[in-house]
Amino acid sequence: MSSPRAILHADLDAFYASVEQRDDPALAGRPVIVGGGVVLAASYEARAAGVRGGMGGARAYRLCPDAIVVPPRWSAYVEASRAVRAVFEAAAPEVEPVSIDEAFLDVTGLDRLGRSPSAIGRALRLDVRREVGLPLSVGGASTRMLAKIACGAGKPDGLLALAPDDELPFLRARPVGAVPGIGPATVERLDAHGIRTVADIAAWSEEVLVAWFGGHGGRRLHAVAHNLDRTPVRSGRRRRSFGAQAAMGRGPHGSAAIDARLVGLADRVTRRMRTAGRAGRTITVRVRLGDYTAITRARTLPLRTAESAVVLAVARALLAEERALLRRRGVTLVGIAVSALEADDAPLQLALPLDGEEAAGTVRDPRAVDTAVDAVLERFGSGSVTRGVLVGSPGSEGSWPDPDERGPDRG
Amino acid sequence: MKLHTAAQDLLGHLQSLSRIASGRLANPTLSGVQIAATGDGIELRATDLQVGLRIKLEGDVERPGTVVLPARLLLDITRQAPGPRVTLELRTEEQDVEVTAGSAVFHLRTLRGEDFPPLPEPSGAAGVDVSAAAFVATTAKVVRSAAKDDTRPLLACVLVRAEGEVLTMVATDSYRLSEKKTTLESPLEGSFEANVPARVMQELERLVPASGAESLTVARGENQVLFTVGEHVLSSRLVDGTFPQYRSLIPETFDHELRVSTSELREVVSRVSLLAQKAAALSLAFSEGELVVSAQTQDVGEAREALPVPFHGEAFAIGFNPEYLRDGLDTIDGDEVLLRLTSPIRPGLLQTTDDQGFLYLIMPIRLNS
């Protein structure tokens, strides 16, 4: 028997309409329809009047005469979608976007790190609201199918993460039409056999269902009723690196000032990595010099790390090798990125430090400090804990190397 | 060239030679075994350019000559030879060798003899004689800790140091480290230190009992080390670089020191390891008076077994690669093993309870708890 999975389905509510309401305060709280000829999206206010996506414009107008119709702004939706995806990817090791406004997240095993599916769901909703300004609904369950159903049940702007014992009762109580993939035609065919809820499907054996609905259809209905769905969450494009950078005003900056930035960057990058349950082996330092040309230096470690102290030590060593250059030409920006990522929840074979970087007596518990700091930040927000050297330093820090990989916890 | 020999002798030697001969090199002749028949006798040779092996073969030389034949194929033919004697004869016209064994006749095309490199000759003078039994026993204690792959060539070596009356060998793949110091019965005349590829050491482990030799001679040159075992000469290029400074990595003190029955722990570990597949870790959970060994493999199952141990203090669990732990326990010679541990992320040490000059340091697998 394999251990149960934890899957979240995250879906932006009335996505296009929500973006319009966000960007034009005059639309907030009012029925909004995106798209003229055919309704591409309707705000919840318009939906209350019966307007649905895919509906003809004329019919929508009859249902909701005071709706405000706006043309779609695709670039705004794409940008919002990308920002939301960055939030997802910082929160879960495996994210599979299924459309512009929804994604599955596999958060299996993260509860061991103190992050339950419902806690992650809450954080996602909060972060998307705060960072992107959009309402998000999240459903959580042990299968993709049930997570999606739960998400739908929690809408709008809701969260429903099912506990293992609640899954089957919840599922069985759903009308068959709530199951993804069961459309109006199937609903009608089921109704002909007196089947209206998922519990009605579960009342019949697989053989009977196959006899009524054919091999494929019958087996699928049986699987639905018993929540049998092993479809994995697969991210086509996995995040390849975690990075952050800090711009520094035109110098001159002493090495202590640069080092203070490195400390903060190492903390921030590794905190995001730990949040996402990832660790990496390649540490890259990027420095923009006084004349705005940039240099990068990288080192690959034998073992993956998500530890602040390790990343910092490597970053310092890389910069130390360029000390003369940095002093001569000045520094206007420093950045740290960690790549060659692996999941951090797999057991890790430790190795003897044969290259002499660490003597036996100095092997410390590398996670103790980091996880304690993480716990405080989670509870009280990212401003509540600051390392000594960072007190009083300006916060002009941004993400690097890929702005589209910006995490939710910057600044 | 024409010679007659016993199939059994030829087979034994070809097994060693075919481990050295390599079909993966650009020069196809190196997949072969060179057979040199002279008035002095018969010598078989194989090399992969890093390691070379020369073995004397008992037999009758009817006509001297030298040929190179595919090692693997000749081995397979010899293994299935229907009679006790084998005859090899070069047929110059046909450029092949006729192998006759009982009623079976084979014709093997020869490999290009001129592409077979000369192997180093034992110089005789500079060698140090070491007890073959002590050398092999010391090797057996450490060689499994050497790295199996060549990504860091020094880690695929055994550090061999002989001085005075102490023979020291060390091997580490960075996940575990074995050190064995053997006190010799009589002091050595001369000394040497060399990083010897582990596979050369393993070959010596096989050659020594097969040859029945009581001592072996080690001659370390600038780039080569030569081992002479009876009539066999095994040569190896030395690996460049300095063996890792490992001494400082062995902690001097540990928080926990337990004496545990070696056989009992070995059996428990072996049983529970059955459910530690796909690189899963073995968990050793210590609590007051008890050790619980457990393992689980996703989609396969779990196993656990408890045994009483004299543990006191705060409970903790440490993970180990089951193979590394088994290797360590297998090399412990004694009823009890001394298990020395500090924390789940610090190296553990396996030792014998009496001083046998042996230690096995093992790095944990960091578990998720």
Q: Which chain B residues have a beta carbon less than 8 Å from that of A108?
A: none
The pLDDT mean for chain A works out to 82
Per-residue pLDDT tens digits for B183-214:
998 898 888 999 999 999 999 999 998 888 89
Strand duo A94-99 + A102-106: pairing: antiparallel
Provide the CA A319 distance to its chain's centre, in angstroms: 32
As averages over each run of 10 residues, the pLDDT of chain B (369 residues) reads 95 93 84 94 94 94 96 95 94 93 94 91 75 96 89 88 95 94 90 93 92 90 90 90 91 94 96 86 95 89 95 94 95 94 93 92 84
What is the pLDDT, as a whole number, of residue A388? 57
User: How far B253 CA lies from chain A's nearest CA (Å)?
Assistant: 10
**Distance between CA B65 and CA B42 in Å, rounded?**
10
Cβ contact (<8 Å) for B321 and A366? Answer: no
A302 touching B, CB under 8 A? yes
Q: Which chain B residues have a beta carbon less than 8 Å from that of A354?
A: 155, 172, 174, 244, 246, 249
**Distance between CA A111 and CA A108 in Å, rounded?**
7
Q: Is the pLDDT of residue A252 over 80?
A: no
User: How far B315 CA lies from chain A's nearest CA (Å)?
Assistant: 17
**Distance between CA B250 and CA A41 in Å, rounded?**
67
Cβ contact (<8 Å) for A360 and B248? Answer: yes
Residue window 333-362, chain B: list those with CB within 8 Å of chain A.
343, 345-347, 361
What is the pLDDT, as a whole number, of residue B8? 93
Cβ contact (<8 Å) for A3 and B298? Answer: yes
Q: Two tokens at B22?
A: 């390599």
Q: Which chain B residues have a beta carbon less than 8 Å from that of A360?
A: 248-251, 346-347
Homologous superfamily of domain range A173-237:
5' to 3' exonuclease, C-terminal subdomain (1.10.150.20)
Grouping H, G, I as helix, E, B as strand and the rest as coil, residue A208 is: helix
User: How far B362 CA lies from chain A's nearest CA (Å)?
Assistant: 9
In this structure, the number of other CB atoms found within 10 A of the CB of residue B60 comes to 13
Angle made by CA atoms B206, B212, B214, in degrees to the nearest 5: 105
**Distance between CA B118 and CA A9 in Å, rounded?**
69
Instruction: Nearest by CB to A356, from B245, B345, B368: name it.
Output: B245
Q: Which one is the CATH code of A241-400: 3.40.50.2030, 3.30.1490.100, 3.40.720.10, 1.20.140.10?
A: 3.30.1490.100
Asked if A284 and A337 touch (Cβ cutoff 8 Å), the reply is yes
Grouping H, G, I as helix, E, B as strand and the rest as coil, residue A331 is: strand
Name the catalytic one among A102, A307, A397, A405.
Answer: A102
Instruction: Nearest by CB to B347, from A302, A345, A360: name it.
Output: A360
Per-residue pLDDT tens digits for A291-337:
878 888 998 876 778 888 889 988 998 998 888 888 888 898 899 99
Q: For chain A, what percentages of helix, strand and coil (3-state, to nearest 5) are there?
A: 45, 20, 35
Phi and psi for B136 in degrees, rounded to 5?
A: -70, -40
Q: Looking at per-residue confidence, does B222 or A138 come out higher?
A: A138
Residues 6+ away with beta carbon under 8 Å from A321: A297
User: How far B351 CA lies from chain A's nearest CA (Å)?
Assistant: 18
Q: Is the pLDDT of residue A411 over 50?
A: no
Instruction: Nearest by CB to B249, from A109, A348, A353: name it.
Output: A353
Q: Which chain A residues have a beta carbon less than 8 Å from that of B366?
A: 347-350
User: How far A255 CA lies from chain B's nearest CA (Å)?
Assistant: 32
Q: Of A5-9, A252-256, B316-320, B329-333, which range is least confident?
A: A252-256
Q: How much is the pTM?
A: 0.56
Size of interface A-B (CB pairs under 8 A): 65
- Reported as a pLDDT band with limits 50, 70 and 90, residue A47 is very high
**Distance between CA A217 and CA A181 in Å, rounded?**
11
Q: Which chain A residues have a beta carbon less than 8 Å from that of B365?
A: 347-350
Grouping H, G, I as helix, E, B as strand and the rest as coil, residue B44 is: strand
Domain boundaries along the sequence of chain A: 1-162, 173-237, 241-400
Homologous superfamily of domain range A1-162:
Reverse transcriptase/Diguanylate cyclase domain (3.30.70.270)
Proportion of chain A above pLDDT 90, given as a percent: 38
Pick the residue of B249, B282, B318, B324 with the most A CBs within 10 A to test the interface with A by mutation: B249
Identify whether A102 is a catalytic site residue. Answer: yes
Q: Two tokens at A195?
A: 């089947």
Per-residue pLDDT tens digits for B102-129:
999 999 999 999 999 998 876 655 789 9
Q: Which chain B residues have a beta carbon less than 8 Å from that of A274?
A: none
Asked if B101 and B86 touch (Cβ cutoff 8 Å), the reply is yes
What is the pLDDT, as a whole number, of residue A362? 36
